Amino acid sequence: GDSVTQMEGPVTLSEEAFLTINCTYTATGYPSLFWYVQYPGEGLQLLLKATKADDKGSNKGFEATYRKETTSFHLEKGSVQVSDSAVYFCALIDSGYSTLTFGKGTMLLVSP
């Protein structure tokens, strides 16, 4: 079946550091890929998405590129802020199905 694997957290960074959160997936079809973010005390929000190979999703300075050859969708940001502290979830929707498969989430902690 489909699955999403994320790097374990917490990831601890200083402000303005470079961020990478790794995400790899397995899917039977041609999935769409998503990154969701959960800020403290809030529900999940869509951060960015990519629907086909080589697409790059971007939002709020975050980027992720859909790499079919490596089945990856790593999240990156060039300079993190304290306000980016949150839990980040990688997810996919397989082309043959209609429901999301989530990774377990990666907590990011950014200190001043």
Partner 1 sequence: GAVVSQHPSRVICKSGTSVKIECRSLDFQATTMFWYRQFPKQSLMLMATSNEGSKATYEQGVEKDKFLINHASLTLSTLTVTSAHPEDSSFYICSAQDRGRTGELFFGEGSRLTVL
Please measure the distance between the N-terminal and C-terminal CA atoms of the chain and give it in whole angstroms. Answer: 41
Residue of 7, 11, 17, 44 that binds partner 1 (CB under 8 A): 44
- Can you tell me which residue has the tokens 């999240």? 75
Q: Which is nearer to partner 1, 70 or 99 (CB)?
A: 99
DSSP 37-104: EE-TTS-EEEEEEE-STT-EEEETTEEEE-BTTTTB--EEESS--GGG-EEEEEEEE-TT-SSEEE--
Residue of 1, 70, 99, 112 that binds partner 1 (CB under 8 A): 99
Residues forming beta bridges with residue 87, ordered by sequence position: 38, 107
Q: What is the contact mask toward partner 1 in residues 53 to 92, using x (rule: CB under 8 A)?
A: ----------------------------------x-----
Residue of 5, 24, 26, 38 that binds partner 1 (CB under 8 A): 38
Residue of 6, 23, 25, 32 that binds partner 1 (CB under 8 A): 32
Q: Which is nearer to partner 1, 19 or 47 (CB)?
A: 47
